[in-house]
Amino acid sequence: MVAEVGSGVGAAGVVVTARAKINLCLHVVGRRADGYHLLDSLVAFVGAADIVRGERAEALSLDLSGPMAKGLGAGPDNLVLRAAALYGRGARLGLEKHLPVASGIGGGSADAAASLRVMAKLYDLPLPGPEAVLALGADVPVCLAGQSCRMEGIGERLTPVALPQAWVVLVNPGVAVSTPQVFRALASRENPGLGEIPPLPDVGALAGWLAGTRNDLQAAAEALCPQVTEVLAALARQEGCLLARMSGSGATCFGLFSSRATANAAFEALRGSWSWVAATRLRGGPAD
């Protein structure tokens, strides 16, 4: 299970929660001349999160901690520092890493968005413009929005979508999946979009609508990483699982549940078998 942490400003500086995002569905609908793929995706956020802290300093620096920090570098290529550098100010930043790295749930993008919020609060400045944010990564704009959205184009077109109360169980097999390799392995890059998203008043309506959608990256990821197939099967076997699907380019998969009790039961059944498992609430709006 996941203990949620809030954001705020304290005597020691600013603390911002970097929530994981999940692609409830992800359609690849085209490819631009510059090679960027065009997407049509319903994105939601959950309680599982990293934490980014910051306080004013003469220069930019980054301290790493947390169970998933191993292997991360604290150099200028780290997205947290790249985002903070847009402000041209100094800060002593800390990233407490709880989300698996390169796992399809936007951990790095969420951290970058949180870093932008930290800097904006530290120096009482506005957030950067859309072009600067998008240059950090396709998922950074939606992570900065921090609410469930339909995400289109290369990540720049966001339309808020209200989602019902629901629970998800996230499972990562501990195997890295290369996003570029997944896109190269796509069978088709010209697929139908989502169409109109209907009202989704409850989790049953959400699961029913999602059943008619896809993650167009899933088949390619499964071919590259058979553990994704195993995780999906394990989630689908859990009592009360309404839908099992991969998020983003993988390898994290999610199961959708209607109650805390069924999600927690699935968490208990799965947590000893996989590298990272979390049961957490689907957050349906900006104040949720």
Is 121 labeled as catalytic in the residue annotation? no
Whether the bond into 251 is cis, omega within 30 of 0: yes
Letter for the amino acid at 38? L
Catalytic residue among 40, 50, 139, 216: 139
Residues 44 and 38: their CA atoms lie apart, in Å, by 19
Angle made by CA atoms 261, 266, 270, in degrees to the nearest 5: 150
Q: Which of 21, 50, 111, 216 is labelled catalytic?
A: 21
d(CA 150, CA 193): 11
Tokens of 60: 């930019």
Is 97 among the residues known to form the active site? no
The two tokens of residue 36 are 């960027």
Q: Which residue has the tokens 């957490």?
A: 280
| Cα-based angle 119, 123, 128 (whole degrees, multiple of 5) | 55
Contact in structure between 273 and 234 (CB atoms under 8 Å): yes
C-alpha 54/C-alpha 266 separation (Å) is: 36
Query: Which 3 state secondary structure label does DSSP give 13?
Result: strand
Collapsing DSSP to helix, strand or coil, 243 comes out as strand
Q: List the catalytic residues.
A: 21, 139
